[in-house]
């Protein structure tokens, strides 16, 4: 058989890591539509509706206050346990929800993604943004207690670092979305990862200062090896800054907060690259 000489070779001009940023910028209406869909679907056919956004952190805070704060003695020093735990719970919930919900992007939306083309990054971005709706409900709930404790002079001392609130929230959402995209990319082939996400996030919460005050623990004294290891958890410095800004408790370690931001950017970039690569072949394995 004679060898054929091809004169024209057709191939994709897109790299494996092309993230289609231009296409993404044209999908603002689609992102808003998906944000609304995600929020409505979350509370559809529930009796209490969006009230669950407040009920869940409220009872979590009560449990933390009773068992960790009063019984175990791991509560905050100088501020009421309830507002201390509530502040940590709502910012942790924002991060955790962004991570867990984004991690289901490919497996949970295969029906849509397999039929309609649009920049796939729209899905994790809209999922992360939708978590802010529940967060702002919880945040307003926290502010009510904050005002009460300010009026009763309970030791709560907000600072001008409150201005950093948008920075903190964006960081936690981007960090959660980054990890979620990494997991979503891997679960297209390794379904076992989906089984351990919720369990892993629960364990992670106990490695973060959500249920206890790290600054009242002598084992986590500033400058110790355990302190340095603990602060390398990118969520820890963000929670500390949030609490210091609104409650005046704890301290801000700017070095580790900077490292936390660097980690966030790196994780988000890795997640976006892995997600962009996986979107081209995920339908073969999902």
Mean pLDDT of all residues in 87-109: 89
Estimate to the nearest angstrom the gap between the alpha carbon of 273 and the chain centroid.
18
Q: What's the pTM?
A: 0.88
Residue 165 maps to a domain: yes
pLDDT digits (tens, 9 = 90+) for 210-232: 988 887 776 677 778 888 999 99
In the prediction, which pLDDT does 193 show?
79
Residue 10 maps to a domain: no
A 10 A CB-CB count for 147 gives 11
**CA 145, CA 151: separation in Å to the nearest integer?**
10
Residue 9 maps to a domain: no
Residue 247 maps to a domain: yes
**CA 277, CA 13: separation in Å to the nearest integer?**
14
Residue 245, pLDDT > 60, answer yes
In the prediction, which pLDDT does 9 show?
52
Highest-confidence segment of 1-10, 62-71, 85-94, 107-116: 85-94
Residue 83 maps to a domain: yes
**CA 145, CA 85: separation in Å to the nearest integer?**
12
Residue 56 maps to a domain: yes
pLDDT digits (tens, 9 = 90+) for 204-215: 999 999 988 887
pLDDT range class, residue 66, cuts 50, 70, 90: very high
Residue 12 maps to a domain: no
Estimate to the nearest angstrom the gap between the alpha carbon of 161 and the chain centroid.
21
Q: How many domains does the chain have?
A: 1
Domain carrying residue 144: 21-284
pLDDT digits (tens, 9 = 90+) for 196-205: 888 899 999 9
What percent of the chain lies above the pLDDT cut of 70?
86
């Amino acid at each position: 058989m004679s060898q054929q000489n091809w004169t024209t070779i057709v191939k994709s001009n897109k790299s494996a890591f092309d993230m289609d940023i231009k296409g993404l910028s044209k999908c603002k209406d689609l992102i808003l539509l998906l944000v609304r869909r995600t929020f409505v679907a979350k509370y559809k056919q529930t009796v209490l509706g969006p009230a669950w956004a407040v009920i869940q952190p409220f009872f979590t805070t009560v449990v933390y206050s009773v068992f960790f704060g009063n019984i175990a003695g791991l509560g905050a020093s100088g501020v009421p346990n309830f507002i201390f735990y509530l502040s940590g719970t709502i910012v942790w919930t924002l991060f955790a929800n962004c991570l867990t919900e984004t991690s289901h992007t490919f497996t949970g939306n295969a029906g849509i993604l397999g039929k309609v083309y649009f920049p796939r990054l729209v899905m994790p971005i809209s999922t992360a943004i939708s978590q802010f709706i529940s967060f702002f409900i919880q945040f307003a709930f926290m502010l009510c207690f904050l005002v009460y404790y300010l009026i009763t002079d309970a030791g709560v001392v907000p600072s001008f670092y409150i201005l950093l609130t948008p920075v903190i929230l964006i960081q936690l959402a981007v960090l959660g979305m980054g990890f979620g995209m990494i997991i979503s990319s891997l679960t297209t082939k390794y379904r076992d990862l989906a089984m351990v996400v919720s369990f892993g996030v629960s364990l992670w919460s106990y490695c973060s200062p959500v249920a206890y005050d790290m600054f009242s623990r002598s084992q986590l004294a500033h400058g110790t090896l355990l302190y340095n290891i603990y602060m390398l958890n990118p969520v820890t410095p963000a929670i500390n800054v949030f609490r210091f800004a609104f409650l005046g408790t704890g301290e801000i370690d700017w070095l580790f907060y900077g490292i936390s931001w660097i980690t966030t950017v790196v994780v988000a970039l890795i997640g976006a690259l892995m997600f962009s690569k996986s979107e081209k072949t995920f339908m073969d394995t999902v």
